[in-house]
Structure 1
Amino acid sequence: MGKGNQNTSSNEGNHSVKQHTWQEITQHDKRHDKWIVIDNEVYDITEWSKRHPGGSKVISHYSGQDATQAFHAFHSNIGLTKKYLKAIHKGSLQTSNIKTANIDVDFKNLRETVTKMGMFEPSYTFYTLNLLHVVVLDVLAYFVLCYFGTGWLPLITSLIFTVIVQVQLGWLAHDFGHTSVFGSKYKIDEFMERICMGFMKGASAKWWNHMHFQHHAKPNVLNKDPDTRLDALFVVGDVMPVQVAEKKKNSLPYNLQHHYFPFIFPPMVIPVFFLYTATRHMFTRREYLDLLFAVCYWIKFIYLFGSVLGFGTALVFHFVMKMFESSWFTWVSQSNHIPMKIEEDDAKPWLRLQLNATCNVQPSFFNDWFTGHLDFQIEHHLFPTMPRHNLSKIAPLVKSLCEKHNLSYQVKPLFQSFTDIIKSLKRSGGIWKKAYNRFHGVNNNNNNKSC
């Protein structure tokens, strides 16, 4: 968050509380020395971050910064959460340092408005129907093979059903992970996320939250958003290509990445990268409950589909299904982010940070279903705990606020949002190539040989 863009402190004028300046606070942004500011109060999160329910990194990314708006965005029960902060309270922001920017005031007013409108209240009918259609398709995927045999038509039909099930479960798990359905008080969302992510998808809820919350806290911020750590295969944005070109003499031909991206990244993210990182997370972080749910998923799948298809064919069926799921998920999730600005952290205020990194897709009944309502990615990033069926209702208010502060509110057709990924990768690859030639003294006549 922008330093100096804070709300009015409740301790203003209270001289018994130690006062801190921004100059002092910004010095506490080290790995073993981390302070943050929330509502003009200063907290030492050095040790607390290790116990933070949302993960140590997501809160640490705001070290030395104002985390007020991020704090309110992530927590649905502010009163309960603030009780945990009392033990790590260091004092208050110095009164002379408190300056409220119009953009922060307006966004705070917007949050209050949508709260009064009941936009954080879920529709249990909506989520019941979503879960029901997933369960029905999951059952049909198995019984199609049981009753019609394992010929090509039943096999393809079952494959289509399982792909839809896995993707739609991902959107549901995403909602539960953000505590958008039942809230955080009774941990029902946490349990349902484990059911969807673990028992029905074979992944780890804790791993997903660890990665995804960082993305929401600092979207498209280099070295903080895990989704930007792509330089093993790709460079994105305007800054990363230059950094990679300077550091790596022997490098991939990133100038060709827009050609190989569709064949490598979308189909392999889930069956290869996610499988590896989720499994490693469960073992290294000792998330044994997540591991139990994942093992149960594999037992269920092998028992059901293995008995019909045979063990080897079932594994092939599973891998192909995950490839299609991965492609669907990746094109949707990256269409809102890769074409946007990808930069170093400069502590932007929440509204500007999220608008720089996100865009929307033109809504329709199909697009809502196909993207899990991530066609309203801007609204979701501004209010991550809001039930997704309400995002369309607040979109006009968000757009109006963006117009007031001259912020780009981008809305694209679905297909264009996909093609913009390729265009963005081509542009970033071109930036890398020019920088690589400049840093390593490559003659333009020998570009193809050197790259």
Structure 2
Amino acid sequence: MPPTSTLAESPSPTRARASEFAPLLRLVKERGLLDRRTGYYIRTLAANSLALVGIWAGVLEFGGSWWVLLLAVPLAVFSGRTAFIGHDAGHQQIARSRAVNRALGLIHGDLLLGMGYGWWNEKHNRHHAHPNHVGKDPDVEVGALVWTRAQAVERQGFARFLTKHQAWLFFPMLLLEGFALKVATVQDLKRRPPRDRAVEAALLAAHLAGYMALLLAAMPVGTAVVFAVLHHALFGLHLGCSFAPNHKGMEMPEGDGERWGHLRRQVLTSRDVRGGRITDWFLGGLNYQVEHHLFPSMPRPHLRLVQPLVREHCRRLGVPYAEAGLVESYTQALRHMHAVGAPLRSR
């Protein structure tokens, strides 16, 4: 029997797993990968602003023709880029000052997109704290879609029909996501602290007034309605396609995940998407979901650089590291959603 002193020095499973992250964090800090990339973000902000101005100039120029609807496509893409900037600001990736990051989040969320930065940031931080954890992660709560069989069997009426066929309906339903985000924003306003509510309400009103004014100045009312619907539908599809591959079909702990420690909690519930620079650009760096969850304040351009370090660290620890191509990542997510609805299809 080992001496008592040896037993006392043996780390508990919880402490041992917590220490799994420490060597990786130390290495990342030594490499300067948590340092701010001010120049990168200045260029990103400038490029995105110029693109939006150019698209809206095109809308004003060609608004008298139905061909203007083609501009809803790049507007949806750069609206997605705007959302990614707001996302990075919410994670304090852009500036050292929390006030500056918040201002950037409010501008890119409330003012430019009409999407509540405060609501989204609070919800997203809860997701990062407990990714894919049933009962703790708001992204796997019961909504239009469900994520576990226990959630599925409770569905009734039309919701039951949606759950039966949710894998087939997933991409069509994403066309409504752009509208759903705005509805959720308005519903959440009353929960905001009074000062925050006043600021966000003013910015949201300015967004709505500016958006409507630009459309109605450029085109007839009928064309404006079609343009707005198309823009928001494609924007929702773009955002949904950016977030869908990240966690769906990965581990969904209900209680045991609390004993995992930071590294396992983030790695085992996340999936990376393989690809090159185009994938990085189109998905806003969210294709490095494992790395982003381990280091949420890491500037976006460093995620590609830290990936080999994380992959090798997980290999040494024997921790599964999930990675798939873009199409395969959607296939895995849809397969999970289809399996969730299986009990309803068998009745």
What TM-score, normalized to structure 2? 0.89
Deviation of the 1:369 alpha carbon: 0.3
Q: Is the 8 A contact 1:354 1:378 kept in 2?
A: yes
Shift of 1:275: 1.4
Alpha-carbon deviation of 1:398? 0.8
| Conserved 8 A contact 2:119-2:188 | yes
Q: Distance in 2 between the 1:112 and 1:260 partners?
A: 44
Q: Is 1:218 matched with 2:126?
A: no
Q: Is contact 1:142–1:305 with CA below 8 Å preserved after alignment?
A: no
Query: d(CA) in 2 for partners of 1:178 and 1:210?
Result: 11
Give the partner amino acid of 1:281.
Answer: D
Instruction: Give how far 1:352 is off.
Output: 0.9
Deviations 1:301-349 (A, max 9, x none): 1222211124453243222211101111112201111121223132031
Unaligned 5+ residue runs, structure 2? Answer: 1-7
| Structure 2 partner of 1:332 | 242
Query: Residues 408 and 191 from structure 1, CA distance in 2 versus in 1: closer, same or farther, beyond 3 angstroms?
Result: same
Change (3 A) 1:191 1:341: same
Q: Which has the larger radius of gyration?
A: 1
Question: How far apart are the structure 2 equivalents of 1:344 and 1:201?
Answer: 34
Matched AA of 2:242: V
Residues 204 and 278 in structure 1, CA contact (< 8 A), matched pair in contact too: yes
Of 261, 276, 282, 2:183 maps to: 276
Pair 1:429-2:338 in alignment: no
What secondary structure sits across from 2:327 in the alignment? helix
The verdict on how the C-alpha distance between 1:243 and 1:260 changes in structure 2, with shifts beyond 3 A counting, is closer
Equivalent residue runs for 1:283-322 within 5 Å:
283-285=190-192, 286=194, 287-322=197-232
Per the TM alignment, residue 96 of structure 1 is displaced from its structure 2 partner at its CA by 9.4
Q: Name the SS for the 2:288 alignment partner.
A: helix
Change (3 A) 1:326 1:362: same
* Structure 1 position 178, deviation (Å): 0.4
Aligned to 1:164: 77
Query: After the TM superposition, which of the residue ranges 98-107 and 212-221 deviates more from structure 2?
Result: 98-107
| Number of matched pairs | 332
Aligned-partner residue type, residue 352 of structure 1: R
Does residue 106 of structure 1 match 2:20?
yes
Q: CA deviation at 1:104?
A: 2.2
1:319-398 maps to which residues of 2 (within 5 A)? 319-346=229-256, 347=258, 348-398=260-310
In the TM superposition, what is the alpha-carbon distance from 1:127 to its structure 2 partner?
1.2
User: Which of 202, 206, 217 lines up with 2:114 in the alignment?
Assistant: 202
CA distance in structure 2 between the aligned counterparts of 1:98 and 1:401, rounded to whole angstroms: 20
Matching residue of 1:414: 326
Distance 1:148 1:268 in 2: 26
What amino acid is aligned across from residue 72 of structure 2 in structure 1?
L
**C-alpha root-mean-square deviation of aligned residues, in Å?**
2.2
The answer to whether structure 1 residue 242 and structure 2 residue 134 are counterparts is no
Q: Report if aligned partners of 1:197, 1:205 keep a CA contact under 8 Å in 2.
A: yes
Distance in structure 2 (CA, Å) of the matches to 1:369 and 1:355: 22
Deviation readout 1:236-266 (Å, 9 max, x if unpaired):
2xxx213542x456661333222222222x1
In 1, Cα distance between equivalents of 2:155 and 2:98: 49
Q: Match for residue 5 of structure 2?
A: none
Picking from 152, 166, 169, the partner of 1:260 is 169
The residue identity in structure 1 corresponding to 2:37 is S
Shift in CA distance, 398/256, structure 1 to aligned 2, threshold 3 Å: same
Which residue is equivalent to 1:179?
92
Task: Please identify which structure carries the higher helix content.
Answer: 2
**2:74 matched to 1:132?**
no
Stretches of 4+ aligned residues off by more than 6 angstroms: 95-98
Q: Report the TM-score, using the length of structure 1 for normalisation.
A: 0.69
Which one scores higher on RCO, CA 8 angstroms, separation ≥ 6?
Answer: 2
Instruction: Give the partner amino acid of 1:258.
Output: A
Instruction: Report the counterpart of residue 119 of structure 1 in structure 2.
Output: 33
What CA deviation, in whole Å up to 9, does each residue of 1:402-438 have, x standing for no partner? 112222111111122122222121122225555xxxx
Instruction: Decide whether the 8 Å contact of 1:204 with 1:290 is kept in 2.
Output: yes
Question: How many angstroms does 1:97 deviate by?
Answer: 11
**Cα contact 2:152–2:340 (8 A) shared by 1:** no
1: distance between equivalents of 2:190 and 2:254? 31
Contact 2:152 2:160 in 1 (8 A): no
Work out whether residues 220 and 337 of structure 1, in 8 Å CA contact, stay in contact via their aligned partners in 2. yes
Counterpart contact for 2:131–2:265, Cα < 8 Å? yes
Sequence identity percentage = 23
State the Cα deviation string for residues 343-389 of structure 1 (Å, max 9, x = none): 31320311111122111011311000000011100000011011011
For the structure 1 residues 410 and 304, does the alpha-carbon distance in structure 2 shift closer, same or farther, using more than 3 Å as the test? same
Q: Which moved more, 1:120-129 or 1:190-199?
A: 120-129
Indicate if the aligned counterparts of 2:77 and 2:235 stay in contact, CA closer than 8 A: yes
Tell whether the 8 Å contact from 2:115 to 2:185 is kept in structure 1 after alignment: yes
Check 1:288–1:414 CA distance in 2 against 1; reply closer, same or farther (3 A cut).
same
